[in-house]
A and B are shown apart, each in its own frame.
Chain A
Amino acid sequence: MNNVVAISDLQIGYENQPLVSHINATINSGELVCIIGRNGEGKSTLIKTLCKLIKPQFGKATINNHDLFGMSDKDFAQLISVVLTSKIAINQTSVKEFVAYGRYPFTNWIGTLTEHDQQLINNAIDFCGIGHLAHRDFSSLSDGEKQKVNIARTIAQNTPIIILDEPTAHLDLVNNIEVFKLLKTLTTDYHKIIVLSTHHIELAIQLADKIWMFNKGFFMEEKPKSILEKGLINTLFENDGVQYNSLTNTFIFDK
């Protein structure tokens, strides 16, 4: 089944202070969307708005023509799973139990896991390659391991859409690439919609199907290729002595 997310004329911001207006975008099944932009431009604000943690100031967003902002928390949890930047401080919970949290929106009042739930949990653990951690305590893991376990939790939640706020912010280069590859596989092989914000622009341009760019109060949706062709990346860093070299796909500093 093809899922469609449509955002039209959305205005985001905190309190009554508008940050970015006229956000229009669409996503289809199997697309990986990367949100880029400098700090404070609206990446997190958009993600928090889409995750219904803050209210939109104007405009709407729909998922398969259902209003996102009018949806109950329960319905939301069955359509969208999220990875946020807030730290999870939970003790005395094994990795497997943590991944099982992903099934909470679907289980009965006492949280009984059916065979189907168990299977989804085990698949998620295998998919993320964290089988060796399954019986460790979540609080004893490194940041990178925690992030993978948290992503496994969203996979166990088995929603058509996954939204991640800077999922690789605290990770080293290897973990960083592993997480990106994992998410890419979810879109290509499992036709999920994935939206994530990141500062790793090189990775975003290589792997994303669409780039949402915040720049100086404006939002634009572009194909990674056209971002390069139009030289839009460099407008992000004007006057900062940094240039993006699209041939080598690296940033270079002006001498």
Chain B
Amino acid sequence: MKNINLKNNLLLLTLIGTALLLFLLDLFLGSVKIPFSSVITILCGKHIDNESWTLIILASRLPKATAAILCGAALSVSGLQMQTLFRNPLAGPYILGISSGAGLGVSIFVMGLSMFGISLSSFPFLANYGIIIFSFLGSFMVLLLLLAAIYRLKDIMTVLILGIMIGSIINAVISILQYFSDNQQLKTFVMWTMGSLSTISNQQILVILPLLLLALLASFIISKQLNLYLLGEDYAKSMGLNIRKFQLIVVLITAFLTGIVTAFCGPIGFIGIVVPHIARMISKTSNHLILIPMSILLGINILLMSDIISVVPNSDSILPINAITSFIGIPIIIWIIIKNKRITNVG
């Protein structure tokens, strides 16, 4: 047991190191070539003569890399919590329909408002922040439905099925909106569903950073409860866990983390499902006190890596982040399955 703890602490330290390296690499690589020494100088807040370089690093690459860190951490922890809550290895941050809710909000904003003759040109604030606001409202609506369901229904698996049903019906509504929308609107919406780390600004990051840190801290604080929950509801209750309260807290934290991330970066797939499995596999423990920091760091590493890959060399284009997370995530999970001949069960 002691050896495992020591090994895991070393692993965590290594992951912090690789995350730092990937972060710097992410700032260094891009369509415009900037010498590494200049990147460091700019990061240190010193003045350099090339104004455009400073602008590229601080206003474009820095928020993008920071967004990768925040999304990676938030989605991975959400996925871990959902897998523990539902004892299901395929559960992820979006299993409860949070992303569908966000999608509905965004589709109403992008495609629905014009149907009702509401023009955005008269609301400059809405034009800038509309997607974020509507996405968040959509997630929040799904969250309220889920909380009501947990309050009314005794069985958490029923809540899971309800979450999936909510997701399906919302997707039906979205498809109707898509059917009646024009090409430009449709493209805007489809682009949103592909996820993007580059739309977020430094100011926005400063707003969501404390919120996400708070939620991540909360998920770490309930580690002991998550561990107890692995024994099954009845045993957990008999050992002092208030089940209903615990389930509410887990859903709240997950919806909060996922809702915020999705509002700013769109639904980013795969990270939340894959990372907890990698965390369990390399740490060889079911203890959430280790799994949560491990998932956070692995999520950060993988999303930074995805972001680095998404930048096409010598061109202005950035590939959709969702395509990259799938390209990275799926081989990893296949490798895990082949190596272990099975996927480690949750718990």
The chain A residues found within 8 Å of chain B, CB to CB, are: 51-53, 72-74, 76-78, 80-82, 84, 86-94, 96-97, 101, 104-105, 107, 109-111, 135, 157
Contact = CB atoms under 8 A, between A and B. Distances in A.
A96 B239 contact: no
Given A89-B345, A105-B240, A111 B286 contact: no
Contact of A73 (B223, B230, B240): B240
A88 B232 CA distance: 7
Interface of B: 1, 87, 221, 223-224, 227-228, 230-232, 234-235, 237-242, 280, 284-287, 289, 344-347
B234 A92 contact: no
B223 A110 contact: yes
A90 B221 contact: no
B240 A74 contact: yes
A234 B175 CA distance: 68
Contact of A110 (B230, B234, B239, B289): B289
Nearest to A111: B224
* Closest CB pairs A-B (n = 5): A77-B240, A74-B240, A105-B240, A82-B238, A92-B286
Contact of B345 (A51, A91, A104, A157): A91
B82 to A, nearest CB: 17
Contacts, number: 84
Contact of A91 (B234, B235, B238, B286): B286
A101 B239 contact: yes
Contacts of A93: 230, 285-287
Given A92-B280, A92-B285, A104-B224, A73 B231 contact: no
Contacts of B287: 93, 97
A101 B228 contact: yes
B238 A111 contact: no
A111 B284 contact: no
Contacts of B234: 51, 53, 84, 86
A104 B228 contact: yes
Contact of B347 (A76, A91, A101): A91
A110 B224 contact: yes
Given A72-B242, A88-B235, A104-B240, 7 more contacts: A73-B240, A73-B241, A86-B234, A92-B286, A104-B228, A105-B239, A110-B223
Contact of B235 (A76, A78, A84, A94): A84
B237 A96 contact: no
A109 B221 contact: yes
A32 to B, nearest CB: 20
A74 to B, nearest CB: 4
A107 B239 CA distance: 12
Contacts of A52: 237-238
A31 to B, nearest CB: 21
A94 B224 contact: no
B90 to A, nearest CB: 16
A96 B286 contact: no
A94 B1 contact: yes
B86 to A, nearest CB: 13
Contacts of B221: 109
Contacts of A82: 235, 238
B286 A89 contact: no
B1 A90 contact: no
Contacts of A78: 240
Contacts of B345: 89, 91
B237 A90 contact: no
Contacts of A76: 238, 240
B11 to A, nearest CB: 15
A88 B286 contact: no
Contact of B289 (A80, A81, A88, A111): A111
A91 B344 contact: yes
25 contacts: A51-B234, A51-B238, A73-B241, A74-B240, A77-B240, A82-B238, A84-B235, A86-B235, A89-B345, A89-B347, A90-B230, A90-B231, A91-B344, A92-B280, A93-B287, A94-B1, A97-B287, A104-B224, A104-B239, A104-B240, A109-B221, A109-B224, A110-B224, A110-B289, A157-B239
B5 to A, nearest CB: 11
Nearest to B284: A92
Contact of A90 (B223, B241, B286, B289): B286
Name the residue in B235, B239, B241, B285 with the highest tally of chain A Cβ atoms < 10 Å from its Cβ: B239
A17 to B, nearest CB: 17
A90 B280 CA distance: 12
Contacts of A84: 234-235, 238
A242 B307 CA distance: 74
B230 A81 contact: no
Nearest to A94: B1
Contacts of B228: 101, 104
Contacts of A135: 1
Contacts of A91: 286, 344-347
A84 to B, nearest CB: 5
Contacts of A74: 240
